């Protein structure tokens, strides 16, 4: 895992722009703490920060191959889990290798198949190839969008980077944020390819972007397609289990310490159990980590989202599979620390975080990084197997919108979208934007022959989660983990599993009347009965009133100053909130305070030009 960046300019001599390349590359230092590299040619400048995971000594970048027609150079981030098979195939085709790294395999794969190398990769990756033979830049991103890659077209080329901050470090970058950028951010519906900053875009998941003297072109080499599913229940369950075993086996390959994230829920427990079994065959013992808050388990009170605490289940799974388990205990003062909030906002390059959920995730990853460099996560199983409550609620199934919108944006418990002042709220028109994005997303779904209206509707809902909702969670996980130099792998995002389960009928996904029926059936023998029967519980949130009290004090300080945030947010709402008792404050109100503090921090750190009319 690494951070990449670069600049292509057909009208400049970029060999004179070392300082600009250095500035762009420096922004990626957290993503790649182990090494820095760069390559300057007349029309291309490529930068790289490395987190060494495979072939520690040999995988330095940018990496080049000299051919008879010119030099081809790659700057690469991510992992190709099938690099060993591809390497063998390329050797048979006459290629010779100097290292054991997957980077060199991908580079030679480009030499052999050009941009079609993407179709042969299994993994999470984002990379750029400068092909001096044709004065051409090729940018490629993995199918699900696990690894980020942004670009911004210029009059004579392009800027690109793993994160927006790399592009913003170039003097040509536009630091403006307009209404469309804020709509995408606060609507929880960001469409593939779009970004918050004006003039900036993402390479779409499963996308290829080519930049040459003729201009910029983009295409998709992969999209989520509808295909027939002919397997019966037993075969489907067996196929899911076989795929999961192969995926985890591949994703455990690393030359550095690795671990699993274990919450005690079904998803993370499955990954931990499979990892434990794989490593036991090599005489190793898996290491697992969980997050908890001081006093949380002892004082836990369930609600409509979280009915049980994680810690007892995580301990039970750890004992069952024999992992070396460690709970990372967090104090309220650490999660409310303004320096932690600032680190999260810088990691995400935007004004919207999930408050204590992001702060605790950052602190968890930071603690894990002291022991491991790679972690396997259960992220995205809910999107793949249908685990969220709204998948199974008739009202959400029938709603003519994204199923999660009521919780996050338009419902009574929604946060910052209800805290803007009246002028900004009217200008944003989030309901109208959400309607348009919903119609656009639904139009992408291919129906299956002969499926019922209900099956068709559930296919749409699954598609929305796998192309919209999961992207927000993957971006969060990548940005926060890479901010501390931790590579988090997501086995449930293997495209083979995603394609197979997506095309499984909803009646088969829920054959036992519960959520994630297929995943539970495929892994029954791996886990304790209590974990198999546990109801879905999302990532934990702190309920400590001391945490809320610190937030309210910070909000009072915000009100006492001349903060730019009140150009956007109604100060009257904040003045009412700070008078409330932190011990009885509703969680949605506390979350609203967190969002305003996030927005204030972003405005202070990034100093964006806001174009809101």
Q: State the catalytic residues.
A: 2
Q: State whether the Cα torsion 315-316-318-324 is positive or negative.
A: positive
Q: How far is CA 12 from CA 7, 62, 155, 204, in A?
A: 11, 21, 11, 28
Given a contact cutoff of 8 angstroms between Cβ atoms, the answer to whether 205 and 466 are in contact is: no
Place of tokens 């065959």: 281
Distance CA 540, CA 448 (A): 37
Per-residue burial over 109-130, b = 16 or more CB atoms within 10 Å of its CB, e = otherwise? bbbbeebebbeebbbbbbbbbb
φ/ψ of 346, rounded to 5, equals -65, -40
Residue whose tokens read 């299956």: 448
Question: What is the rounded CA–CA span in Å between residue 264 and residue 318?
Answer: 9
Q: Which two tokens stand for residue 393?
A: 């609620």
Cis ω before 149 (30° cut-off from 0): no
3-class secondary structure, 65: strand
Q: Edge to edge, what strands does the sheet with 136-141 contain?
A: 63-67, 70-80, 123-131, 136-141, 207-212, 215-220
Identify whether the C-beta of residue 262 lies closer than 8 Å to the C-beta of residue 269: yes
Pairwise CA distance, residues 573 & 49, whole Å: 43
Helical (H) or strand (E) element with 407: none
Rounded CA-CA distance 195/336 in Å is 28
Name every residue whose Cβ is closer than 8 Å to that of residue 61 and which is 6 or more positions away in sequence. Answer: 2, 37, 48, 50, 74, 75, 76, 103
Q: Please give the helix or strand (H or E) that residue 371 lies within, else none.
A: none
Q: Parallel, antiparallel, or unpaired: how do β-strands 70-80 and 157-161 relate?
A: unpaired
Spatial distance between the Cα atoms of 333 and 311, rounded to a whole number of angstroms = 21
Helix ranges (DSSP H) in 149-255: 164-168, 179-186, 233-251
CA–CA separation, 337 and 359 (whole Å): 9
**Rounded CA separation 253/56 (Å):** 13
CA 323 to chain centre: 26
User: How far is residue 309's CA from residue 296's CA, in Å, rounded to a whole number?
Assistant: 8
Whether the CB-CB separation of 261 and 275 falls below 8 Å is answered with: no
């Amino acid at each position: 895992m690494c951070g990449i960046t670069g600049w292509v300019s057909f009208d400049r001599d970029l060999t004179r722009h070392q300082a600009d390349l250095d500035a762009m590359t420096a922004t990626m230092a957290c993503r790649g703490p182990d090494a820095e590299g760069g390559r300057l040619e007349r029309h291309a400048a490529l930068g790289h920060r490395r987190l060494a995971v495979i072939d520690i000594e040999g995988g330095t970048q940018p990496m080049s191959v000299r051919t008879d027609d010119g030099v081809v150079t790659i700057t690469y981030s991510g992992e190709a889990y099938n690099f060993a098979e591809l390497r063998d195939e390329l050797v048979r085709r006459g290629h010779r290798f100097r290292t054991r790294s997957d980077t060199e395999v991908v580079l030679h794969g480009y030499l052999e198949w050009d941009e079609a190398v993407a179709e042969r990769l299994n993994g999470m990756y984002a990379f750029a190839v400068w092909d001096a033979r044709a004065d051409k830049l090729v940018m490629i991103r993995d199918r699900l969008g696990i690894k980020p890659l942004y670009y911004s077209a210029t009059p004579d080329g392009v800027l690109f980077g793993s994160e927006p901050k790399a592009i913003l470090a170039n003097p040509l970058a536009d630091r403006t944020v307009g209404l469309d950028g804020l709509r995408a951010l606060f609507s929880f519906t960001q469409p593939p390819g779009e970004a918050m900053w004006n003039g900036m875009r993402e390479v779409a998941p499963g996308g290829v972007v080519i930049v040459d003297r003729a201009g910029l072109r983009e295409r998709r080499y992969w999209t989520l397609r509808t295909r027939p599913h002919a397997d019966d229940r037993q075969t489907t369950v067996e196929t899911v289990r076989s795929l999961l075993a192969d995926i985890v086996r591949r994703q455990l390959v690393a030359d550095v310490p690795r671990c699993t994230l274990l919450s005690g829920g079904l998803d993370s427990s499955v990954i931990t159990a499979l990892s434990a079994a794989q490593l036991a065959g090599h005489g190793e013992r898996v290491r697992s980590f969980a997050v908890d808050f001081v006093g949380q388990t002892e004082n836990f009170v369930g609600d409509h989202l979280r009915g049980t605490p994680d810690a007892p289940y995580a301990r039970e799974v750890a004992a069952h599979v024999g992992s070396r388990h460690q709970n990372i205990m967090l104090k309220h003062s650490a999660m409310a620390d303004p320096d932690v909030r600032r680190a999260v906002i810088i990691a995400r390059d935007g004004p919207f975080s999930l408050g204590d959920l992001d702060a605790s995730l950052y602190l968890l990853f930071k603690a894990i990084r002291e022991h491991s460099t790679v972690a396997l996560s259960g992220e995205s199983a809910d999107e793949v197997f249908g685990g969220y409550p709204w998948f199974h609620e008739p009202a959400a199934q029938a709603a003519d919108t994204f199923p999660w919108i009521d919780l996050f944006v338009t419902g009574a418990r929604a946060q910052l979208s209800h805290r803007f002042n009246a002028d900004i709220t009217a200008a944003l028109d989030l309901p109208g934007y959400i309607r348009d994005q919903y119609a656009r997303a639904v139009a992408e779904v291919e129906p299956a022959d002969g499926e019922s209206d209900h099956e068709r509707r559930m296919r749409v809902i699954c598609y929305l989660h796998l192309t919209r909702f999961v992207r927000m969670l993957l971006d969060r996980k990548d940005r926060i983990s890479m901010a501390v130099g931790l590579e988090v792998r997501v086995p449930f995002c293997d495209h083979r599993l995603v394609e197979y389960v997506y095309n499984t009928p909803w009646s088969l996904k829920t054959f036992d009347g519960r959520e994630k029926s297929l995943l539970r059936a495929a892994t029954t023998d791996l886990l304790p009965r209590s974990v198999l029967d546990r109801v879905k519980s999302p990532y934990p949130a702190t309920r400590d009133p001391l945490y809320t009290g610190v937030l309210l004090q910070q909000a009072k300080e915000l009100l006492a100053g001349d903060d730019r945030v009140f150009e956007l947010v109604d100060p009257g709402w904040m003045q009412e909130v700070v008078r409330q008792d932190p011990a009885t404050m509703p969680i949605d109100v506390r979350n609203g305070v967190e969002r305003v503090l996030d927005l204030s921090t972003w405005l202070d750190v990034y100093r964006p030009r806001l174009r809101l009319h």
